[in-house]
Amino acid sequence: MSHPFLVKDIAFQAGLSTATVDRVLNGRAGVRRQTEMRVKAAIGELEKQQAGVAASGRTLAIDIVMETPERFSNAVRAAFEAEVATFLPTVFRCRFHFAEIMKPVEMVQLIDRIRLRGTHGIVLKAPDIPEIAAAVERATNAGITVVTLVTDLPNSSRAVYAGADNRAAGETAAYLVGNCFDGAAARVLVTLSSGRFRGEEEREIGFRRVLRERYPQIGIAEISEGHGADAATGILAARAIAADATINAVYSIGGGNRAVLAAFEEAGRTIRIFVAHDLDADNRALLATGKIDFVLHHDLRTDARSAFRAIMSGLVKERVAPAVLSAVEIITPYNMPAGS
């Protein structure tokens, strides 16, 4: 595996130990295929970063840490990489640290490692729990600007939140569902990836508030802790619809939509309306084929731009102004923006 990089840099980019990276690079036995692919991906990231550095201007290395399904992390990666070009001659080197499920202790350790290694800024999608807030505090005290992405940590020392108004998004979903049933009784399956994320909680609060005030005939059944993964979410959805024959709509806050659809199909149940979040590759395909009805979307490039600006302001000790919240758009098969 030819490359010009230090083993420690590859290890940090890949989230592996230097010993593990050394084994991969030297073709030693006992290395899993998945580990080898992580090292190759890390080298590819470093090559892209090096190419960007050659462009010109000041170079800022930032770390983007997210616990999220791969389909969403892919969309975030694409948004940040696309937005980098708009800040030239300043060059942002984005080091991505993504995992579909990350234990709180693992995320805390990662944030602390980044702090000790050094960075110009951290962009963070993380659970709203005291341990994470404490790690953010340590980073802030070290002079590192921390930006929360998509889901906020309002009780932490983060500099700014970059994302949509999640409560308004939930209210919009309730409006769509309520108008679909036009006064008739219904029951909505609300899916969360995890109750630990503030953004998902705010979407649910907004959804429940509007149903309670405007559409009291519509009830809710909730599932959570599937972490947006198809297998776990599908099992939870199947259990919920088996236990409640009145469920006939879906508001997907946390993803795993293919699995939710499969659970309804397996049970021979129909869905009157399916509202989802985020234009990732899965949802684009499901929307285009009529499997889901609406996607509530916000522009991740706007969020990336807000994050970059906040980090630049923090470096020159300017007061970081609150980011402008991303607009929530209602996407149908007929107004889908261009994308991969």
Identify which has the larger pLDDT, 30 or 110. Answer: 110
pLDDT interval class at 5 (50, 70, 90): confident
The residue that leads in pLDDT, 48 or 30, is 30
- Kindly report the pTM of this predicted structure: 0.81
Region 265-278: mean pLDDT is 97
Share of the chain above pLDDT 90, in %: 75
The string of DSSP codes covering 264-326 is HHHHT---SEEEEE---HHHHHHHHTTSSSEEEE--HHHHHHHHHHHHHHHHTT---PPPPPB
CATH architecture of the region 59-163+300-326: 3-Layer(aba) Sandwich (3.40)
Question: What's residue 56's pLDDT?
Answer: 46
pLDDT at 156 > cutoff 60 = yes
Say what the pLDDT of residue 267 is. 98
Taken in order 74, 77, 81, 84, is the CA torsion positive or negative?
Answer: positive
Q: What is the pLDDT at residue 30?
A: 85
Q: How far is CA 71 from CA 57, 74, 134, in A?
A: 32, 5, 29
Q: Predicted confidence band at 238 (pLDDT cuts at 50, 70, 90)?
A: very high
Q: What is the mean pLDDT of the chain?
A: 91
Predicted local confidence at residue 13, as pLDDT: 77
What pLDDT sits at residue 318?
A: 63
pLDDT at 316: 73
In the chain, where are the structural domains located?
Answer: 7-55, 59-163+300-326, 166-297
pLDDT above 90: residue 304: yes
Distance CA 337, CA 151 (A): 23
pLDDT class of 321 with cuts at 50, 70, 90: low
What pLDDT score does 3 carry?
Answer: 67
Q: Which CATH class is domain 7-55?
A: mainly alpha
CATH no. for 166-297: 3.40.50.2300
Q: What is the pLDDT of residue 339?
A: 67
Q: Report yes or no: 203 and 172 within 8 Å, Cβ to Cβ.
A: no
Higher pLDDT, 314 or 152: 152
Q: What residues contact 195, with CB distance under 8 A and at least 6 apart?
A: 201, 224, 225
**pLDDT tens sequence across 114-148:** 999 999 999 999 999 999 999 999 999 999 999 99
- Tell me whether domains 7-55 and 166-297 share a fold: no
What is the per-residue pLDDT across 48-96, written as a single tens digit (0 to 9) for each? Answer: 666 554 444 678 999 999 999 999 999 999 999 999 988 878 889 999 9
User: Is the per-residue pLDDT at 340 higher than 60?
Assistant: no
Q: pLDDT value at position 159?
A: 94
Percent of the chain having pLDDT more than 70? Answer: 93
